[in-house]
Amino acid sequence: MDENSAQILAIRALGWMASEDPVWQAFLGISGADAAQVRAEAQRVEMQRAVLAHVMREDDWVRACASALGVAPEELVAAAARLEGPAGMNWT
């Protein structure tokens, strides 16, 4: 997956997350951000990494997000790894 595709998927995951109140509220609580701040920073790779990392916290969230976006759960994992760079790649 290239970086552009990973960023697009992260932004799509953000849209899904914002529509799922328990997931959204947990993200806001953990990140300390408010909705306006998240919107303002959505194009930044740091926010995109945070979004994907949050979705990855729960297997049910990964499956629900992937299903809603019409992608395989592994694509979310690949996007997260791509945005993390070499340190995010796990070959084991």
Question: Is 25 or 85 the better-scoring residue by pLDDT?
Answer: 25
Residue 61 and residue 23 in contact, taking contact as beta carbons nearer than 8 Å: yes
pTM for the whole thing?
0.89
Task: Find the length of the chain.
Answer: 92
CA distance 43 to 46: 9
What residue segments make up the domains of the chain, in order of their start?
Answer: 3-83
| pLDDT confidence of residue 52 | 97
Ramachandran angles phi, psi of 72, nearest 5°:
-75, 145
Could you count the other beta carbons within 10 Å of the beta carbon of residue 66? 20
Confidence of residue 44 (pLDDT cuts 50, 70, 90): very high
Q: How much is the mean pLDDT over the chain?
A: 93
Tell me the CA distances in angstroms from 73 to 40, 43, 63, 82, one per residue in order. Answer: 27, 22, 6, 14
